[in-house]
A and B are shown apart, each in its own frame.
Chain A
């Protein structure tokens, strides 16, 4: 505690850089895992390519003849340096990097917004009695059920109203093909609510609230007769770390749910691209998307980890 500021700053930087490099290592590890999976595929997926010339060219390009370790290392290296090759079947010849970047760009707003919905809802409904029960209950429904229910339900209702002459054809009708902003909002809510992210956040907050409520400083404040709203302003600071942890826990399921929602709601994006790549057995594209999604998870995880540490002096001291 008596360290000179310089030493302290250095220690600080060291820990933070250490955390960051840990996350980076995790990402590399994840890429290696992906590469192992791909390399283990029985009968190379490339065999399904109709063009023998292209097959030979790609086999050489990807070193597919070599032993497992070579392929994994080569694959990981390519993934790391961004040499993701070109698409085989989804958009034959297109650069995977470009395809994935476009798709990730399309998905990013949805991902972030849905995540915000999950975290925000989880935080907003926490401790609101029936509101919490209903929203958390809804959030335990699978994304597919929520999205489907919303799409079919809204379509049926709008169609019924149109048939009865109550209203004309709204611009968003025929979800998910037309949809526009309504579809986006629906996908957003389905993804945010349905990935159990709300439940994860609310559960963490509930746990934290119980802990906070039982902690001495809150009791002391209550004993002094602090009002509920004043207490809230006292407690919010302590809900930040659990909220960050909840947000961290909520993110990967949302990434997974992205695939489902983009398919169901006919939205272009990384999930949709992955799906199509898998359908068309386009290994480079599928691998590229998974690596990119993994990267996103890692970046988000790392950012939140550092944020958490920045927020709580005790964690800072621990590091």
Chain B
């Protein structure tokens, strides 16, 4: 549990204690005909009701049915909704369909009619009411849990946890549900309780199936006070009404409450060519990015460079005046009319409109952007990454002319050929007559030659990690992984899916020996990730496969660890780095200590931070520490360099090699041959469902290389 969690938990606990105490107070509904309908006095601060009972005491005693009934409802709703929702979310597929179908059937029964009908069956009182309400609300809980867990599953967090060695039930129950669906649990608990209050009040007021006299309930207090007539004690109806209103609003506040940040505040921009001076972007407590100076005349291309996490994107957004809420920029700024293209081209496009509708009059812009004319009627989600970037560009170019084009990491996620093509296009745009200035953010220095007119480097807010000593290649050890004639099928299931999907990679033969680093190279979508997962036993495959002496399709090989493309995937966002690592240490059976791991990856000072507070590079290092602590012998790393600048990726790879040690093996899947080649002992080039080339770095310049390999090498 994070530090924040611990701090926050005290308030509800105290409230719970107070409520429980009130509910446990003894209450004797004795009547006294001598004090019927008295107004407030010292002896009876809220007066007495129509049969001479103290209204204040009844007001408090009415908490009991709420606690009992609400508690029952909550228990039922959570007991039914959470496991089913978690199961549906974690399993997906047919499970989710049937479970959610069941939820749908139950939720089609409107709650109050259901309760009334149930009242005929099980009678009146707080518990049956709670029972019915719990059943009625369970589908809501189920759905919420399903959505959350399903989203986490889609982010492959569950897969990451299981692959890391955490039992599936534990991964679901502790990490997905308890740690990460807590908002849903809190929200729905409050909703169940608020709904119960509303229903109980209504039914008790109407006098059927609710709490019956003489047991107090705010609803029946209201009914008695109102039917006793206006001459009686007004507090007798005001008090319960206020109680219901306050508690209901409070519970809903708990259910709806979303912490809101103050909206972002920008510096005022003067029109003119781009000129930024002394730009500082700060959150509430610290400076998150700093840029002393930046100027870009029209027709030029400027690259904004810097290590990961230095705030390059924020600078662009500050210039565009679209800083996220809670951040604030200071400094001086002049800028022309501008356009901004998001990191992922698809997100720059309106997903609900076809490209033609977003760029209604493409004309010449079509050619300039390089967007294929026959794809104009496609939906954004149907475009590939490169097409999406071009479509975004098309939208910019077909709109009113701009003096500045801001592009945030436009090349991320593109394969080398697509990347080169996009860069050329951007240059063309800038060089065109009265073309705009282009400012783009990148961490890829290799793009810059022949492209950027100016390079602005940003300084990191944190010190770079210490440089590592150059690595000595040991001689190959025993075979860690042996695959022959392997075919893999996409999808996250060990058993072949029905109907049988065609394999995406066939006839593969791969060997990894101790101390080796092996690269799997190919463009996005060729099946690198699937292959890695097949090695770990997470995907279906056919053919010979032996990993650390076992067939991963029948038993999980110990000592195999995956590194995820997004290093955050394997990190439970609710835990601190130290907590995450101690779980890994437990998986590794405690042979290695957390402190040692932190020291090795250089994160001693960030041990109490949660993943969201770390930069991408830091997260990567935490995931490396995880792998080391879990006692990895064979590490399967998926695009370990993604989202890192070149220097950081090399560092990361070196660190990984270092952590695996001389007997361990590393398999790296990447689309960037040039980047990983220096690190690898052998490279397998995957293309169009097959392995088209295998070679070691020294053989790279061999003219007999497959044309695709040559193409890849040239892209560097």
Interface string of B180-213 (1 = CB under 8 A from A): 0000000000000011011101100110110000
Contact assessment for B107 and A252 in the assembled complex, using a CB-CB cutoff below 8 Å? yes
B346-402 interface (Cβ within 8 A of A): 346-353, 378-379, 381-382, 392, 395-396, 399-400, 402
Contact assessment for A301 and B378 in the assembled complex, using a CB-CB cutoff below 8 Å? no
Interface string of B94-126 (1 = CB under 8 A from A): 000000011011111111111011111100000
Picked from A28, A33, A42, A256, the residue with its CB within 8 Å of the CB of B199 is: A256
A81 at the interface (CB under 8 A from B): no
B344 at the interface (CB under 8 A from A): yes
Contact assessment for A297 and B110 in the assembled complex, using a CB-CB cutoff below 8 Å? yes
Contact assessment for A274 and B113 in the assembled complex, using a CB-CB cutoff below 8 Å? yes
For A41, the chain B residues whose CB sits under 8 A away are: 120-121
Contact assessment for A142 and B198 in the assembled complex, using a CB-CB cutoff below 8 Å? yes
A36-67 interface (Cβ within 8 A of B): 37-38, 40-42, 45
B115 to A, closest residue via Cβ: A256
B59 at the interface (CB under 8 A from A): no
For A25, the chain B residues whose CB sits under 8 A away are: 101, 105
B14 at the interface (CB under 8 A from A): no
B402 to A, closest residue via Cβ: A224
A29 at the interface (CB under 8 A from B): yes
Contact assessment for B108 and A215 in the assembled complex, using a CB-CB cutoff below 8 Å? no
A257 at the interface (CB under 8 A from B): yes
Contact assessment for A144 and B201 in the assembled complex, using a CB-CB cutoff below 8 Å? yes
In the complex, A145→B245 CA distance in Å?
8
In the complex, A149→B116 CA distance in Å?
24
Contact assessment for A256 and B112 in the assembled complex, using a CB-CB cutoff below 8 Å? yes
B200 to A, closest residue via Cβ: A142
In the complex, A38→B342 CA distance in Å?
58
B219 at the interface (CB under 8 A from A): yes
Chain B proximity of A237: nearest CB distance (Å): 5
Stretch at the interface among A8-16, A82-90, A175-183, A287-295: A287-295
B251 to A, closest residue via Cβ: A140
Contact assessment for A26 and B108 in the assembled complex, using a CB-CB cutoff below 8 Å? yes
B705 at the interface (CB under 8 A from A): no
Picked from B202, B352, B399, the residue with its CB within 8 Å of the CB of A237 is: B352
What's the count of A-B pairs with C-beta under 8 Å? 216
Picked from A152, A224, A237, the residue with its CB within 8 Å of the CB of B338 is: A224
Interface string of B222-248 (1 = CB under 8 A from A): 100010001000000000010011001
Given contacts A40-B121, A42-B121, A199-B252, contact A297 B108 (CB under 8 A): yes
For B402, the chain A residues whose CB sits under 8 A away are: 224
A165 at the interface (CB under 8 A from B): no
Interface string of A132-174 (1 = CB under 8 A from B): 0000110011111100110010001000000000000000000
In the complex, A23→B118 CA distance in Å?
23
| Interface majority SS (helix, strand, loop, mixed), chain B | helix
In the complex, A278→B321 CA distance in Å?
61
A1 to B, closest residue via Cβ: B382
A117 at the interface (CB under 8 A from B): no
For A30, the chain B residues whose CB sits under 8 A away are: 105-106, 108-109
Chain B proximity of A215: nearest CB distance (Å): 6
Chain A proximity of B361: nearest CB distance (Å): 16
Interface string of A107-147 (1 = CB under 8 A from B): 00000000000000000000000000000110011111100
Chain B proximity of A139: nearest CB distance (Å): 8
Picked from B248, B343, B347, the residue with its CB within 8 Å of the CB of A140 is: B248
Contact assessment for A142 and B320 in the assembled complex, using a CB-CB cutoff below 8 Å? no
A71 at the interface (CB under 8 A from B): no
In the complex, A259→B119 CA distance in Å?
14
Chain B proximity of A159: nearest CB distance (Å): 10
Chain B proximity of A152: nearest CB distance (Å): 7
For A144, the chain B residues whose CB sits under 8 A away are: 198, 201-202, 205-206, 219
Picked from A40, A260, A313, the residue with its CB within 8 Å of the CB of B112 is: A260
Contact assessment for B121 and A220 in the assembled complex, using a CB-CB cutoff below 8 Å? no
Contact assessment for B108 and A141 in the assembled complex, using a CB-CB cutoff below 8 Å? no
In the complex, A215→B344 CA distance in Å?
10
For A257, the chain B residues whose CB sits under 8 A away are: 112
B282 at the interface (CB under 8 A from A): no
B249 at the interface (CB under 8 A from A): yes
Contact assessment for B117 and A34 in the assembled complex, using a CB-CB cutoff below 8 Å? yes
In the complex, A312→B195 CA distance in Å?
31
In the complex, A281→B123 CA distance in Å?
12
Contact assessment for B381 and A313 in the assembled complex, using a CB-CB cutoff below 8 Å? yes
B206 to A, closest residue via Cβ: A263
B317 at the interface (CB under 8 A from A): yes
For A34, the chain B residues whose CB sits under 8 A away are: 109, 117
B337 at the interface (CB under 8 A from A): yes
Given contacts A137-B249, A223-B320, contact A290 B348 (CB under 8 A): no
In the complex, A29→B320 CA distance in Å?
54
B8 at the interface (CB under 8 A from A): no
A222 at the interface (CB under 8 A from B): yes
A187 at the interface (CB under 8 A from B): no
Contact assessment for A1 and B344 in the assembled complex, using a CB-CB cutoff below 8 Å? no
For A219, the chain B residues whose CB sits under 8 A away are: 317, 320, 322, 340, 342
Additional A-B contact list (6), CB under 8 Å, known A216-B343, A220-B342, A286-B116: A140-B248, A216-B349, A220-B392, A223-B338, A224-B337, A313-B379
Question: Please, could you name 8 A-B residue pairs with CB atoms under 8 Å apart, sorted by A?
Answer: A26-B104, A28-B105, A34-B109, A37-B117, A140-B251, A214-B324, A222-B320, A237-B352
> Interface of A with B (CB < 8 Å)?
1, 22-23, 25-30, 33-34, 37-38, 40-42, 45, 136-137, 140-145, 148-149, 152, 156, 196, 199, 203, 206-207, 214-217, 219-220, 222-225, 234, 237-238, 252-253, 255-257, 259-260, 263-264, 271, 274-275, 278-279, 281, 283, 286-287, 289-290, 293-294, 297-298, 301, 311-314, 317
